[in-house]
A and B are shown apart, each in its own frame.
Chain A
């Protein structure tokens, strides 16, 4: 941002005048929106929780399928004997 402001106020005439490096500045975090960080943090945390709930629900579904198959196999085996 600092680099861009300098460009806007004093445009370079030749390639030699241009910046050749980026230097960290004090207070460089001022441009970061606290609201955006807050929303991102809560979205990520809720996403983690909901993903965990979804994975648990899927695992329970897989167990129910295995249980139904076992039940089916046992019924067939009982019918054979």
Chain B
């Protein structure tokens, strides 16, 4: 895996910055506000909230694939990608869980309700938080890595449940996009959302790439330090 210093990284960084600038312009200058029952101008939270949820799914899937690959055959790279996936899933999950209640306050009148989608999403983010905390406080041994990888695999099992919870169990959460949803009536709203998806995808790639590079570098450095310690002559025998 090449680090953030490779040639592709700065190009990706510039592209992400440009897409985000355009997205912010579209949200606040071009896209019209929605109807009052959807929160009025607060509905503009939607253009970051939904793509952040999608980015959390993506990072969760990255964590799942890398964790499963690590359990099949342990390598530093697989461990680093699994770790990065979980960390990024927490960040995007936090974005979703803070923006959603603020929009809900205007649209539903309450910040939080124990709706199936909200509850399963909270549970999923908590699992990724557990993975991150576990990795942060239990060291970087093989047993800890395997345990974190297993938790990463289990955490991702919850993602399809979140997605289909609205269709199966109902609840307050809107189903505007996808099957059963009415969609976005205004084309500007639709393209702003699409741009949001592109922006969050690019950001998720950048974040996972950077965090995985840092984690991989840390593992290699730890190994080099251990090897250097083993090579060092004993002070007593000298």
Shortest CB distance B116–A (Å): 22
Main secondary structure of the interface of A (DSSP, over half): helix
| Measured CA separation A33–B39 after assembly (Å) | 10
Q: Which residues of chain A in 44-59 are interfacial with respect to chain B, using CB atoms and an 8 Å cutoff?
A: 44-45, 48-49, 52, 56, 59
Chain A to chain B contacts (Cβ below 8 Å), 8 pairs? A37-B39, A42-B48, A45-B99, A48-B91, A56-B211, A56-B214, A63-B221, A77-B228
Interface string of A15-35 (1 = CB under 8 A from B): 000000000000111001011
- What class of interface size applies to chain B in its complex with A? 35 or more
Which residues in window 9-51 of B have CB below 8 A to A? 39-42, 44-45, 48-49
Number of A-B contacts (CB under 8 A): 84
Q: Are B106 and A29 in touch, CB under 8 angstroms? A: yes
Q: Which residues of A contact B (CB under 8 A)?
A: 27-29, 32, 34-35, 37-38, 40-42, 44-45, 48-49, 52, 56, 59-60, 63, 66-67, 70, 73-74, 77, 80-81
Picked from B87, B106, B109, B210, the residue with its CB within 8 Å of the CB of A37 is B106
Q: Of the candidates A28, A38, A49, A77, which one forms a contact with B42 in the assembled complex, judged by CB atoms under 8 Å apart?
A: A38
Q: Does B225 contact A (CB under 8 A)?
A: yes
Interface centre among B99, B102, B217, B218 (most CB of A within 10 A): B102
B160 to chain A, nearest CB (A): 25
Instruction: Name which residue of chain A comes closest to B47, CB basis.
Output: A42
1/0 contact string of B191-222 vs chain A (CB within 8 Å): 00000000000010001001100100110010
Q: Are A63 and B214 within 8 A (Cβ)?
A: yes
Question: Does any Cβ of A come within 8 Å of B98's Cβ?
Answer: yes
Among B44, B106, B225, contact of A32 (Cβ-Cβ < 8 Å)? B106
- Closest A residue to B49 using CB positions: A41
Of the candidates A35, A49, A63, which one forms a contact with B217 in the assembled complex, judged by CB atoms under 8 Å apart? A63
| CA gap between A56 and B67 in the complex, in Å | 21
Does A41 contact B99, Cβ atoms closer than 8 Å?
A: yes
Q: B residues within 8 A CB of A34?
A: 39-42, 106
